[in-house]
Structure 1
Amino acid sequence: MPIPRIHEIMEADQRILNAFSPEKLHRLGQAIGLNDSTTVLDLACGKAEMLATWARDYGISGLGVDFSEVFVADARDRVRELGVADRITIEYGDARNFSPRQRFDVACCIGATWIGNGVEGTIELLRQSVTTQGLMLIGEPFWRKAPTAEESVEMGFSADEFSSSLHELVARFTACDLDVVEMFISSEDDWDRYVAPKWLTMRRWLEDNPHDPMFDEVRAELTNSQLSYTRYQRDMLGWGIFGLLER
């Protein structure tokens, strides 16, 4: 199942495809002790900004897997741009069916737990790929305030799509016999820098592609995103990256 084209349009000008800043990405790598002997797997890696910059800054080696041909091409360009193509491999493929050929020191799924049909299934996928003492990293939304049925319809998210709170999300990790050993939570500014730039990207795309079959869908997404984000999502939806170790 290819990634919907609208995501490739909306995120065409972004490198980090989640509500996370470059500074936090760097600090996360520092916090988990990355070095030039660390191997990292990133399932559903998007444009692989995490792998590329960690290879540049910390000397890691690793593998990214994604099933967007557009994102894979951008990821390969990025690792070449940063001079780390000898340490980072990008594969086109469905992360849901990934079969590890080796075990990694760090196995990640950042903002894409649909690959395991949710948090618990994604943990099982990562367990297949991480060393015995290795670290799992999962990026996942959670509700700061659970929406009503009406708010869910307007946002396009059901209340049960994400954990009802940060506490519940952490409880789901611990129920899988994992200890949460690191946590980076996105700020409102992180969200703004992820969501708002997509509005300009979509607007420019609409101006350049008035006859594209996707025009009406992108026009609707631009309008709805502005209203939904500022009315609900900015205040109600949280997001974070969590470091997890087996007990």
Structure 2
Amino acid sequence: MDRQTLSFLAHVDHPIAAPLSDSNVGRLLRQVGCSPGASVLDLGCGAGEWVLRALEEYPTARAFAVDTSEPALRRAEETTRDRGLRGRVIYAQGDAREYRPPKACDLVMCVGATHAFGGFEESLRAIDERVAPGGTVLIGEGFWERPPTRAALDALDAVPEDFQDLAGTVETAEKAGWTPVYGHVSELGEWDEYEWSWTGSLTRWALDHPEHPDAEAAIEAAREHRDGWLRGYRGVLGFVCLLLRRKQEHPPRA
């Protein structure tokens, strides 16, 4: 099974595709405070849940969204139609690093997709030119809740330098010229819901399609992921969503 299909199946029951509850997604989006007619950009949109929630929160907003996954984008188009939001969002299949919306946007989101740009700091640099003056960034990134164990690093195929602690993550954003105006740190229960949904969706698909040539591989992938989570990074890897804005430069007084 290719990676895109596996990820798509694993996120069917949790389309937010990050360890957050519905209520906390809503709280983050309400904190943005988009003006009427705002433009929204979602970099690494997956099945589109974040961008659709933003459009529902701000009924006059328009959006652009990009992802590499064909099955995820196909689901995004279907969900957009089912929720009566067609005509308000344009999806593109491609590399988020290369995608440029028609204009800089008032809200730019990149939740759980900083790997597309090579990391957190690199993502902030790439996002900068896509944000309109006075706009807001909503970015979701992993961080070490505590020093990573060898089991956690092995499960994540990571090295300690891949993430910082929470304070270091916020400091990196500030050094890049961004000012945090709000944030949410995922709670353990949100992580558990996300991971059980990830492994459960994939396993359920395999059990419902025993004749599929990838069924056994899907069960094994879910088992390996679950073991890495429970024996490795549970309680070690955290996740934070930050709302960031740039300080406005005032022209010199006459």
Measured against aligned partners, the alpha-carbon deviations of 1:120-153 in whole angstroms (never above 9, x if no partner) come to 2211221121112111121101010121334422
Q: Is the 8 A contact 2:43 2:67 kept in 1?
A: yes
Q: 1:68 corresponds to which residue?
A: 69
Instruction: Using the aligned pairs only, state the percent identity.
Output: 25
Partner of 1:166: 166
Q: Please, which runs of 5 or more residues in structure 2 have no aligned partner?
A: 248-254
Correspondence for 2:18: 18
Tell me the SS of whatever aligns to 1:206: helix
**TM-score normalized with structure 2 length:** 0.88
Asked whether the equivalents of residues 181 and 245 of structure 1 are also in contact (C-alpha less than 8 Å), the reply is: yes
Determine the C-alpha separation between the residues in 2 that align with 1:148 and 1:207.
Answer: 33
Shift of 1:218: 2.2
- Report the TM-score when normalising by structure 1: 0.91
| Paired position in structure 1 for 2:83 | 82
Q: Is the 8 A contact 2:152 2:236 kept in 1?
A: no
Aligned to 2:34: 34
Indicate yes or no: 2:213 matched with 1:205.
no
The answer to whether the 8 A contact 2:151-2:233 is kept is no
Residue pair 2:18, 2:112 contacting (<8 A) in 1 also: yes
The number of equivalent residue pairs is 245
Match in the other structure for 1:51: 51
* Aligned counterpart, 2:251: none
Q: Which is worse superposed, 149-158 or 172-181?
A: 149-158
What secondary structure sits across from 1:95 in the alignment? coil
Contact 1:100-1:128 within 8 A present in 2 as well: no
User: Which residue pairs with 2:131 in the alignment?
Assistant: 130
Q: Which amino acid aligns with 1:243?
A: L
CA contact (8 A) 1:185 1:239 kept: yes
How far did 1:210 drift? 3.8
Query: Which residue does the alignment assign to 1:120?
Result: 121
2:57 is matched by which residue type in structure 1? D
Q: Cα offset for 1:35?
A: 4.4
Instruction: State the distance in 2 between where 1:154 and 1:86 align.
Output: 41
The Cα shift of 1:116 comes to 1.3
> 1:179 matched to which residue of 2?
179
Distance 1:218 1:95 in 2: 27
Over aligned residue pairs, what C-alpha RMSD do you find? 1.9
